[in-house]
Structures are given as structure tokens and as C-alpha cells.
Amino acid sequence: MKSVSMARDARRSRAARIITILKDLFPTPQSALHWSQPYEYLFAVIMSAQTTDKQVNKVNAGLFLKYKTLDDFLRADPGIFAADMSAINLYKNKAKYILATARILRDVYGGKVPDTMDELIKLPGAGRKTANVVLGTLYGKAVGVTVDTHVIRLTKLYKLTTETSPEKIEKELMEIIPQSEWIGFSNRLIWYGREHCPARCKKCPACPLWKAV
């Protein structure tokens, strides 16, 4: 037990150093997804699974112009709507998720995006990662740590976790990072992965976070 505690303390100390550096690099990180209405952000996050935010924004530039209100989504022809999203991965399933979610938002929540984890994860296409992102961005609620592909890769690289599943990684991160930092940590690490440490980069010693390990 002592060795487990010591390992956790070492990860906690490393996380604190990483957070300090990330704050210097990205003082006010914002979501890279484009949106104007809360439901649009939820839809964009659902669309972003296994798709880059850049590609989602390209699709949404036309999608949100064509479907300007929640009612427009509800009136959409499923086949045409799916075709409108065809430039992103898994677009057929995501189209079904979004149209089903739009109906739930109207019928159950009066057009509003729910603000609890339990409610969000019940929406079609919205798992825990989506819920964490939405709660953090729309409501400033730190219920958990968003674990996307960048966070998985970088927390392993910088020795903050030895786990492999998103659920276990999130639990471990929640144990070593103060709750007040959960939202900012994920946002900053995602931006760091995009701008300083892409997956194929092999220049680790030159990266700003390397000295924190």
C-alpha cells in the first residue's frame, strides 16, 4: 500500500508541474468547435467522435446554416440530413443520434441541453466524454475529466497513468488532479496535443512538457 501511495504522490506532483506549464502555454483555452446555440455545441461534440474538430467545423458551417433552429432538425428528412453530414466519419449513425437527441431535447427538456451527467449520458450518441465536455463548456461544471485520444496518449506519455481504458484513466486523473483544474487540464492538454505534440511527432525532448516528467 505504501508503494501505491508513493506512486500516486509522484503522479500528483508531476501533474502539478504539467498544469503549471499548460497554463502558461494556454491561459484561456476554448473549445475548437464552432457553435452559437447550446444544442449546436452538443451536436458538434457528438459529431466529433473519431473525427477532427477541424472537419466537424467544415461540415457544421453548412449544417447550422441550413438547420437554423431545433425545429429545423426535427423537420429534417433523415436521408438528406445524413447526406449533409457525409464528410465526417460514422455520419449515418451520428445523423440518427443527433435527430433523436433533438427530439428528446424538445420533448423532455423544453429545448434546453440538460446539465447533469446522468441526463447527458442517456442521450443518443453521448457517452461520458461527451457529457464532460458539454458540462465543462456550457455550464462550467467539473464532474469528471474529459478523456479523448489526445488525453489518453499524453497522460500515458507523461506518466500520469498506466491505465488503458478511458474510464480507468479518468478515475486515476481525478485522484491526482484538483477538481478545480479538471476542465482546464483537459482543454489545455488537447490543445497541447494539437499544437506541440501530434501523434507522429518524435521530438519529445524539445516539447515544453518534457522537462516536467
Residue positions annotated with a catalytic role: 129, 148
Exposure class string for 54-85: b at 16+ Cβ within 10 A, else e: eebbebbeebbeebeebeebeebeeeebbebb
Give just the sign of the alpha carbon dihedral 164, 176, 18, 34: positive
Residue showing cell 483555452: 29
- In three-state secondary structure terms, 130 is helix
Radius of gyration of the chain (CA): 18
- In three-state secondary structure terms, 146 is coil
Distance from the Cα of residue 13 to its chain's centroid: 24
Angle at 146 between CA 142 and CA 148, to 5 degrees: 170
The count of residues in the chain is: 213
Q: What secondary structure letter does DSSP report for 210?
A: G
Measured distance CA(185)–CA(136) in Å, rounded: 11
